[in-house]
Amino acid sequence: MKQSHSIGPRTVRSTTVLAVKHKGRTAIGADGQVTFDETVMKGTAYKLRELADGKVVVGFAGGVADALTLFDRFEEKLKAYPRDLRRPAVELAKDWRLDRALRRLEALLIAVTRKELILISGQGDVIEADDDILAIGSGAPYATAAARALVRHNKDMDAEQIVRESLQIAAEICVYTNENIQVISP
């Protein structure tokens, strides 16, 4: 059985980001809820960002300012290594782990292209899932389970539909995930 990866939060508990590769296409989606401690502060946040002229889409779970800093750093790495997603991801993970200022950033990232999806963490993780499903944030286990079931048992759905439906299911279970869902296919 192939394994998928849901990286649980260290301190990241207030969102759900899911990426799926299915039928040769990828899609990434996120909910729009922003929480502060036990309070919902906003319901319409955008947690996805297109980089490299739309060829790469990155989603984050964690602090917004931290994620924006990481997006900028990742975009620099994508410019330096434009032909591959793995190399910029590894370079970002190295910087994130070794740089004193970056080391304090609290976020997780999932980056996708048309053909690849990679999870990047500040612990130096660069993970490609065996079954082409990656999720981060508090709703990650729910979104992962839903996506796996939909991939296995609903052959008519495409990657974007699977991501949207899986995030909807996560929103019904996870109090830190809402139904304001954004999905992008690079």
- 186 assigned to some structural domain: no
CATH number of the domain residue 21 falls in: 3.60.20.10
- Mean pLDDT across the stretch 156-162? 96
- 145 assigned to some structural domain: yes
pLDDT tier at 14, thresholds 50, 70, 90: confident
- 169 assigned to some structural domain: yes
Opening angle at CA 147, ends 141 and 149, nearest 5: 105
Q: Model confidence over 101-112: pLDDT tens digits?
A: 777 777 889 999
- 185 assigned to some structural domain: no
Give the active site residue among 15, 16, 26, 144: 15
Q: Which two tokens stand for residue 161?
A: 């539909």
- 148 assigned to some structural domain: yes
- 94 assigned to some structural domain: yes
pTM of the prediction? Answer: 0.89
- 131 assigned to some structural domain: yes
- Mean pLDDT across the stretch 117-132? 91
Count up the domains in the chain and report the number.
1
Q: Is 11 a catalytic residue?
A: no
